[in-house]
Amino acid sequence: MDVVVRQAADAELEAVADLRWRWVRESSDEPLPERSAYAAEAAAWARAHGDSHVPLVAVADGEVVGMAWLAIQSRVPSPRALERRSGDLQSCYVVPEHRGAGLGRRLAEAVLDEARRRGLEHVTVHSSVEAIPVYERAGFRANPRSLYADGAIPER
């Protein structure tokens, strides 16, 4: 099967949102909003945030079967560069029936390509333990200078 990985078209944003709903449903039995209502609202959110969140998709036979997002953040100016931005790979997901074919890696590579095209300084990803090898094959590596605080920052 031929799969194309590219930036999502506007008409595909509800399908992308539907993948996000499906992903949460796969991993939890918590109550969720009605699927089509969520997809419409999340697609509207994506349209409103297109300058900071770039959706990429894997499309097989005209169907969106995977997604990954490049979230772009402005950074504090430096004397070397007033305009600085970095990225974060978010919400990389492939439907179960298409897993194991390298689509997660291809989506991560597409995010990195888009980040390079936009001149971002670096891209981070927060991953499950199981997905770390996928991101490493795409070009990510561990960085001893990165720290992570989970949840809310405690009061001092």
User: What structural domains does the chain harbor?
Assistant: 3-138 (3.40.630.30)
Confidence of residue 148 (pLDDT cuts 50, 70, 90): confident
> Is residue 79 pLDDT above 90, yes or no?
yes
pLDDT at 151 over 80: no
Q: Is the pLDDT of residue 86 over 60?
A: yes
- Write down how long the chain is: 156
Return the pLDDT at 142: 93
What mean pLDDT value characterizes the chain? 95
Return d(Cα 146, Cα 38) in angstroms, integer: 34
Burial of 47 (C-beta count, 10 Å sphere; 0-12/13-18/19+): exposed
Q: Where do we find the tokens 């007033």?
A: 82
pLDDT at 147: 86
pLDDT at 67 exceeding the cut of 60: yes
Among 135, 86, 152, residue whose Cα is nearest residue 115: 86
Q: Determine if the pTM surpasses 0.75.
A: yes
Question: In sequence order, what are the residues at sequence separation of 6 or more whose Cβ sits closer than 8 angstroms to the Cβ of residue 96?
Answer: 26
| pLDDT value at residue 153 | 65
β partners of residue 69: 55, 90
CA angle 30, 10, 56 (to 5 degrees): 70
Task: Give the pLDDT score at 98.
Answer: 97
Mind listing the pLDDT tens digit for each residue in 100-145?
A: 999 999 999 999 999 999 999 999 999 999 999 999 999 999 999 9
